[in-house]
Structure 1
């Protein structure tokens, strides 16, 4: 069977999940995939080149996936992706998580996407609530860098470049006015870093830590076919992968499910275009590829090294590595032959490392050579395990731990290949302060076909262990070392899912945020605390609420007893504010205490099939916003959720009778029973029955109903004729939004009921908004609408179509691009008061 035909048997598995050689924080993976010849090829292809490339972007999904797939999977280039933030400010197309919880999801999606294209992933953002965060859409790189902290972002990028040492750097976007400010900011600092990463006077403290300056050789920018330096043949079809690089890149993009990414492409030629921006090597107007004029193979590196004083012996070793790499590739697809050649190359890499260290080459050259040889050694470790069909695993007895707990973790190695390996050693890595004790031998003389060796370790978590951080490196990993064909290799492995230190008693409060109506300040606030026991067995605790001074809570405390881990119980409390409570934000915190221990946190479990299980640990608290609010009695609202917002829950808290409408309700139910029907953001795009039943909705308005429609994108099946009078959404979308949450708002129709009943809206109500004012504003609308406000970003033309309302028959139709779905969960008083006015129009 020809190699190409053989590979097609593996196409589906390979395209679905291509493994990575690199350790990525919280990226569940088995150490070695079991997909045969495709993964073997993927492991040995990088041995043929010493070149490296880096793609920089702002958010998860900014990576140039097709280009990265071509470089990494097609050319074997050591390829990295550096992404600034975690996507916390975006929307969620698979669930209701927003903010940091969404950032965790998008980070995991990015990690899984990076595994498919076999690239090394780094983030500039390091932790929850990091300065480099996704604060929402920005029109300015200056605003972005000011909010991130320009020195912080730049120092971290320079550090990544000096650590990874790419030959070629490619920012994902241009610095153009029509581009997201986050994208522009990354372009700005990436272009600047081309020279600064090589300047020892820039962030000299990094050099004291052991990093060395690094001069990137070329910097390219995205371009068009009409003006480019390099065209990347991303549409080229690879017989071994059974797909083109565009298709492989899109497989990675399908992992960005919370953003609805991924498209299906047919086979056929296509190209990515890039323009050379800066270079330290001689170039031509049109280049064959990114690496023209740059050392690409070991032979190229040998020539450069031989030209330097003291480089002859090292150059000879590099030429030997060139021959080794060719022999590894020539041995494919024979697993045993590849394993033998790979281990011979590994021995030669280790010898070359020693020769470099003992040479009289300049220090900068030695540093560069040792870095490239270290990369090659890591690649050979991966190639060895793939060729030997060695499957290594680390399996915790439980992935959910608490401080002070003792548990067991098993490390194993299975030999699925025909060659015997020797000197197998199983090691478990735990954080500083943790204890790991092997309960049996960790060394084995040999491991033959279809045999498994394993060691169980007793692991003790210290009593002061930090709670789980989703962006930190995995807490528990393992190293399996072994010898074959005269050289030693090591396989590094992480657990399939995150191992997390969680609160002994994880608490969540319902509601998690609420309004205290100062017009009815003595109305009790019901608070339900749900407690989950993460202790390894039976446990007891006392749960209480910490409330603001002068407030009261009943009961004072509630004892809870749990029979087993995972058991959940709830306690109901009643909180009353002080009689003199003022409009302001307040916090209520749950506390679980007993046996000298105290928990004040909750652990949100985040679990989706494509990213596995992870956690968001945060304070167990309830945000309370006190302000004056009038809500009509008996108000009945039908809410049509798109799944992207939870405004309906907040309306219920305010005393509104809310019914979530099903498809059947919309298609054939009695709509006239509702005072108001509200469509959630982008509802037409995700509730197909809306388009089919739109005539019923308009008839509901005509008969006296009040219909409130929140913003849509054109691609959400939005058509102007869905509204009773035409509404056309402005494009390009990037130009039709207001991103400054503090921008001035002018009420154009101050006497309109929306601004007067039941709550009087004043300029104060536009204060303290978060992230944005509006998104995807209309560009054209029928003359029948009343334009309620004008608003724009400073220095730009103001929009007047953000908030539109019109009488239609006996009822009212209101279309609003204000970002209610962010403001209301953030308990912004003015936004809540106006939304109540909107749904109260019929009354």
Structure 2
């Protein structure tokens, strides 16, 4: 197997890590350079301790990366990161994907980040559109748990604790009012689960399924240097890794590219602080580390076991394992010497497992020892492959499959070390219902230095195979087993990219969402359907649209012929609504029919170098929102995109003439040609030319232009004086936003043109908003501004600076913290009507 690719857990849905089972990697690995002796050290360090720790958080990037790096890479502790959701509600700093597609990206980033720190990852959200969804910012843990389903998220957390059996549990956040409600919710359930995970009456179905209760020994929460129990020296420099643990943690955080994470830290002392909240073992006000009073080594475990009935023999076995672990470390960095000691220890672990099963122990002690020894066996498999320089790969002929297809998959094993590998077996694992037929030898007597062996399999995908689900474990894996120094080890490998069952014809519609103006119901809607053939070889299909009752479409169907797999073709349709169309939401679905095969889905390819390739399969639908909308003729808008929104596309769709402005346009172009210029969210932070050209923008307003500025954070280089009259953004940011999308909005200046022309804005236009009302509201502003609305979360003071507008010279300057970038792509009628009004203001 490729070095360092196994012994990490990416569990998604199924119960794992039960006694007697192996935990394997459940996500494809991107290509990174092997680091020789560094990776070897990373593999053998965990053999020195039997301790474990779990860090819980809400979103990808919540993990305490530096602390995890210290525990896992520095101390060798079996370390877990359990994250609730997949970050679907956030922004995307590397592309245009939002919602579920963004959740897929952030999941893969989280998986890759966990590999850097050698951390076992678990995610409580199990599927696309799972109840545990990132629904956006929340101020309340109660709201969060209500939306997630408190029992749903709690059961999954308890299950993870019982599966992984951590000695120490550490929530990433405190339950305090200044913290995101999602973060607070995870603290609440983690603190509660500390004792409930040991109570068999809490989710008793777990025990029926073979999952025993588990009591962690200690619960720590984040603290500071004034009041703490343990301080973690994340600034310690590790000579083997050539970095401090803080730097290693940031190396993992740099994988969260869609969130712009990762910082560069200099070398030097630094600490994370934690306070002991609950404990089942004696504790002190100050502790040297998390594991004081907890068995940390095999010798510690032997002392605990020795006094139990039948425990002395078992204690001798554990003391042998302690010596084995010491011998492995002493053999470093000699690869062959380490391999010999690793396989000696593997034999001893397997013998100890037999002794545990035969000993007259109470069931809880037996389960605990079995679990810890199985963890060690798995870690020894990792260490063996590293020490022997075994590189195993599984290579599908193609990663893009369709139901009923037959393909070839090869499994290879390369020996880069000096120790011959004996009795090598290459086994391909496929889902139930699939068929994997060997096309030749799969077992080999011996593989020597610099030799590769290959086993080829013919794989048949069943005709009823379900379409790809990105959060399930990989559909295809391979096991490479081999013998060295008298004991057998197994390595599991996954493909470098996702292997996906895709629709035979992938369909995408342009536009993906559309506005139907009920003031002009006779206007047809042009729809382009792009079809990609995923079937091997040539194929033909009839493409059509399913439209609402009473609507018509031309042509009725259009045949397409494809010469080969991967070929893409498009066909145009004209959809005509019924004459009596009313306001509401309508759906148009694209369909491809080829004999008995029918496709109604599209496969969005998601590819970035740091996460590889994966897919988002979803229904091929066009959502049409029908409502009345007036748009001035000839309205010309210049849009300055920050890369975080696509509002310009929707303005074009409703009939606005929109031009995306380049840096050159802003710095030296003729701005007077535009009736309105719109700055996208956080534009000053991501379009550097705006700062130096701000005087030009204000001059544009002064000369009669209409400038619309969407919300900014202070760190986006925002300064109050960028506006014609000062605007100061409120801090801390958490206190200056409205998260209840259905909160009451009062129009403070109902006769202002923004509310009257060309569309009359009423209370109904504030209905149906999604996720939030506003973010990063101003706390102070010049008296020159008109306060357009008052709005706040229930029970809190209302903000009146959310929507500000002022005359400046001959023109108008408007600053809005309303979350247009979410509302307009969701086709919220009132948001679109109001935005059109805002960009239609006349001098």
Q: SS in structure 2 opposite 1:93?
A: coil
Q: CA offsets per residue over residues 524-556 of structure 1, 9 Å max, x none?
A: 000000000000110000000000000000000
User: 1:449-464 residue pairs with structure 2 within 5 A?
Assistant: 449-464=449-464
**More displaced 10-residue stretch of structure 1: 334-343 or 92-101:** 92-101
Q: Does the aligned pair in 1 maintain the 2:55–2:171 contact within 8 Å?
A: yes
| Counterpart-to-counterpart distance in 2, 1:729 and 1:350 | 62
Q: SS in structure 2 opposite 1:125?
A: coil
Q: Does the aligned pair in 2 maintain the 1:109–1:256 contact within 8 Å?
A: yes
| Counterpart-to-counterpart distance in 2, 1:358 and 1:18 | 34
Q: Which residue in the other structure is 2:624 paired with?
A: 624
Shift of 1:30: 7.4
Q: SS in structure 2 opposite 1:453?
A: strand
Q: Which residue in the other structure is 1:518 paired with?
A: 518
| Counterpart-to-counterpart distance in 1, 2:464 and 2:655 | 44
Q: Which residue in the other structure is 2:362 paired with?
A: 362
Shift of 1:27: 2.8
Q: Which residue in the other structure is 1:739 paired with?
A: 739
Q: SS in structure 2 opposite 1:227?
A: coil
User: 1:761-840 residue pairs with structure 2 within 5 A?
Assistant: 761-840=761-840
Q: Which residue in the other structure is 1:108 paired with?
A: 108
Q: Does the aligned pair in 2 maintain the 1:223–1:273 contact within 8 Å?
A: yes
Q: Does the aligned pair in 2 maintain the 1:18–1:116 contact within 8 Å?
A: no
Shift of 1:96: 1.0
Q: Which residue in the other structure is 1:55 paired with?
A: 55
Q: Which residue in the other structure is 1:117 paired with?
A: 117
Q: SS in structure 2 opposite 1:520?
A: coil
User: 1:363-762 residue pairs with structure 2 within 5 A?
Assistant: 363-762=363-762
Q: CA offsets per residue over residues 504-534 of structure 1, 9 Å max, x none?
A: 0001000000100000011000000000000
Q: Which residue in the other structure is 2:140 paired with?
A: 140
Q: SS in structure 2 opposite 1:457?
A: strand
Q: Does the aligned pair in 2 maintain the 1:19–1:116 contact within 8 Å?
A: no
Shift of 1:28: 2.2
Is 2:283 the counterpart of 1:283? Answer: yes
Q: Does the aligned pair in 1 maintain the 2:30–2:611 contact within 8 Å?
A: no
Q: SS in structure 2 opposite 1:21?
A: coil
| Counterpart-to-counterpart distance in 2, 1:689 and 1:817 | 22
Q: CA offsets per residue over residues 657-682 of structure 1, 9 Å max, x none?
A: 00000001001100000000000000
Q: CA offsets per residue over residues 735-783 of structure 1, 9 Å max, x none?
A: 1000000000000000100000000000000000000000000000000
Q: Which residue in the other structure is 1:98 paired with?
A: 98
Aligned residue pairs total 828
Q: Does the aligned pair in 1 maintain the 2:30–2:610 contact within 8 Å?
A: no
| Counterpart-to-counterpart distance in 2, 1:24 and 1:171 | 19
Q: Does the aligned pair in 1 maintain the 2:405–2:462 contact within 8 Å?
A: yes
Q: Does the aligned pair in 2 maintain the 1:436–1:457 contact within 8 Å?
A: yes
Q: Does the aligned pair in 2 maintain the 1:33–1:391 contact within 8 Å?
A: no
Q: Which residue in the other structure is 2:18 paired with?
A: none
Q: SS in structure 2 opposite 1:648?
A: helix
Q: Does the aligned pair in 2 maintain the 1:476–1:495 contact within 8 Å?
A: yes
Q: CA offsets per residue over residues 400-431 of structure 1, 9 Å max, x none?
A: 11111100110000000001110000000000
| Counterpart-to-counterpart distance in 2, 1:31 and 1:422 | 28
Alignment RMSD (CA, Å):
1.2
Q: Does the aligned pair in 1 maintain the 2:674–2:705 contact within 8 Å?
A: yes
Q: CA offsets per residue over residues 85-119 of structure 1, 9 Å max, x none?
A: 00000011111111001100100110000000000
Q: SS in structure 2 opposite 1:383?
A: helix
Q: Does the aligned pair in 2 maintain the 1:132–1:149 contact within 8 Å?
A: yes
Shift of 1:594: 1.6
Shift of 1:246: 0.2
Shift of 1:35: 1.7
Shift of 1:34: 3.1
Q: Which residue in the other structure is 1:126 paired with?
A: 126
Q: Does the aligned pair in 2 maintain the 1:31–1:494 contact within 8 Å?
A: no
Shift of 1:133: 0.3
CA 1:170–1:323: 2 relative to 1, 3 Å: same
Q: Which residue in the other structure is 1:86 paired with?
A: 86
Q: CA offsets per residue over residues 202-225 of structure 1, 9 Å max, x none?
A: 000011000000001000000000
Shift of 1:311: 1.1
Q: Which residue in the other structure is 1:7 paired with?
A: none
Q: Does the aligned pair in 1 maintain the 2:4–2:43 contact within 8 Å?
A: no
Q: SS in structure 2 opposite 1:147?
A: helix
Q: Does the aligned pair in 1 maintain the 2:5–2:493 contact within 8 Å?
A: no
Shift of 1:309: 1.2
Q: Does the aligned pair in 2 maintain the 1:685–1:717 contact within 8 Å?
A: yes
Q: Which residue in the other structure is 1:3 paired with?
A: none
Q: Does the aligned pair in 2 maintain the 1:640–1:662 contact within 8 Å?
A: yes
Shift of 1:19: 5.7
Q: SS in structure 1 opposite 2:836?
A: helix
Shift of 1:24: 2.8
Shift of 1:842: 2.1
| Counterpart-to-counterpart distance in 2, 1:718 and 1:770 | 26
Q: Does the aligned pair in 2 maintain the 1:551–1:577 contact within 8 Å?
A: yes
Q: Does the aligned pair in 2 maintain the 1:634–1:657 contact within 8 Å?
A: yes
Q: Does the aligned pair in 2 maintain the 1:230–1:290 contact within 8 Å?
A: yes
Shift of 1:18: 7.4
Q: CA offsets per residue over residues 24-79 of structure 1, 9 Å max, x none?
A: 36632279973210000000000000000000000000000000000000000000
Q: TM-score, normalised on structure 1?
A: 0.97
| Counterpart-to-counterpart distance in 1, 2:192 and 2:605 | 40
Q: Which residue in the other structure is 2:8 paired with?
A: 22
Q: Which residue in the other structure is 2:20 paired with?
A: none
Q: Does the aligned pair in 2 maintain the 1:745–1:790 contact within 8 Å?
A: yes
CA 1:184–1:18: 2 relative to 1, 3 Å: farther
| Counterpart-to-counterpart distance in 2, 1:121 and 1:185 | 19
| Counterpart-to-counterpart distance in 1, 2:430 and 2:675 | 59
CA 1:272–1:537: 2 relative to 1, 3 Å: same
Q: TM-score, normalised on structure 2?
A: 0.97
| Counterpart-to-counterpart distance in 2, 1:20 and 1:495 | 12
Shift of 1:228: 0.2
Q: CA offsets per residue over residues 455-476 of structure 1, 9 Å max, x none?
A: 1110011011111101000010
Q: Does the aligned pair in 2 maintain the 1:32–1:390 contact within 8 Å?
A: no
Q: Does the aligned pair in 1 maintain the 2:755–2:761 contact within 8 Å?
A: yes
Q: Which residue in the other structure is 1:45 paired with?
A: 45
Q: Does the aligned pair in 1 maintain the 2:89–2:99 contact within 8 Å?
A: yes
| Counterpart-to-counterpart distance in 2, 1:148 and 1:172 | 19
Q: Which residue in the other structure is 1:254 paired with?
A: 254
Is 2:208 the counterpart of 1:208? Answer: yes
Q: Does the aligned pair in 2 maintain the 1:31–1:492 contact within 8 Å?
A: no
| Counterpart-to-counterpart distance in 2, 1:645 and 1:57 | 27
Q: SS in structure 2 opposite 1:715?
A: helix
Q: Does the aligned pair in 2 maintain the 1:542–1:594 contact within 8 Å?
A: yes
| Counterpart-to-counterpart distance in 1, 2:597 and 2:762 | 48
CA 1:32–1:406: 2 relative to 1, 3 Å: same
Gaps of 5+ in 2: 12-25
